[in-house]
Amino acid sequence: MNKRANKKAFFICVLIGLMYVSVAMKLPDRFTIGRTSETGNAVPTGMSVSIPKPAPVNIPAPANTPKTGQVIEPSYFVAIPIVCFAIRKGLIEKEGLVFIRKDAQDNAYCKKPMDILQDRDEEGLKSIAKIIGKKQLIAFFKKEGAALREELDPQDVILGKGYVIEEDIILSMYNRNVPEDYNKLFPYIIHTTEIRREGDRFAFRHVSDTVKTYSDNNQNEWTMPSLVNLPMKAALEKLATRTSKIKIYGSGLVTEQQPKAFEKVKGETECIIRGRPYR
């Protein structure tokens, strides 16, 4: 009897142990046990095992990509960052004079880059484009994330003609290249659109009507310096700090000037200086 009792107790312990193991391994969750359906008079019994299907994984839809800015023909808007880039690279001087053309009397007409931008002087911008060159313009646009067609003329590039560009890229050009000392150009208005500085960034804004902006220098009063007997180059340097409207006749030393020395003038007064060759 003791052997039978011990044997029975052993099997009971094994069964209890298996139950604990099955619970620990979560076997009841993995398998379901049941009878198969009966057909006819047969009484088959058996086991069917079903493995639960994995829960579907919800993959989130990709977030909407931000929309790029409106694509526009840039017009004169693109000229300002191009000119600032050229000044920073040393291709032109901020306070220097850019030769634009000669008149019928072979007199040179020059202006400062800032005044060319402010007056939207097409001939002046074309002159700057010639100085910068096609290679530099293409490199500038590529660095700013815009591709130019090889057949575009540099003069059309600086005038913003014959191609389109995203507004976001134009604003990036301004933010990266236009320093605060150009603030007197803004707001810069073309037709019914303006670009203005807002804090440390630039932005496009719609305006109801076109308002041409003028520099405060247009109203500043200054005294015409005495230029007679100065070398032409020295006379030009004196005038260039006050006005960009300078006409030159002859060369060498200055013999005549208009307006007269020490005369009070305002803003962008046209100045004429005449010279004679050195003896």
**pLDDT tens digits along 142-162:** 999 998 988 999 999 999 999
Domain spans, the chain? 71-213, 217-276
At 171-210, the pLDDT tens digits run: 999 999 999 999 989 999 888 899 999 999 999 998 874 3
CA quadruple 249, 251, 255, 261: dihedral sign: positive
Q: What is the mean pLDDT of the chain?
A: 79
β partners of residue 266: 221
Alpha helices by DSSP H, the chain: 2-24, 27-30, 79-88, 113-118, 122-132, 134-143, 154-159, 167-177, 232-240
Predicted pLDDT of residue 37 = 47
Top CATH class, 217-276: alpha beta
pTM for the model: 0.55
SS3 157: helix
- Phi then psi for residue 100, to 5 deg, are -110, -55
**Residue 236's pLDDT band (boundaries 50, 70, 90)?**
confident
Least confidently predicted of 41-55, 98-112, 136-150: 41-55
β partners of residue 247: 109, 272
**Residue 49's pLDDT band (boundaries 50, 70, 90)?**
very low
Predicted pLDDT of residue 279 = 58
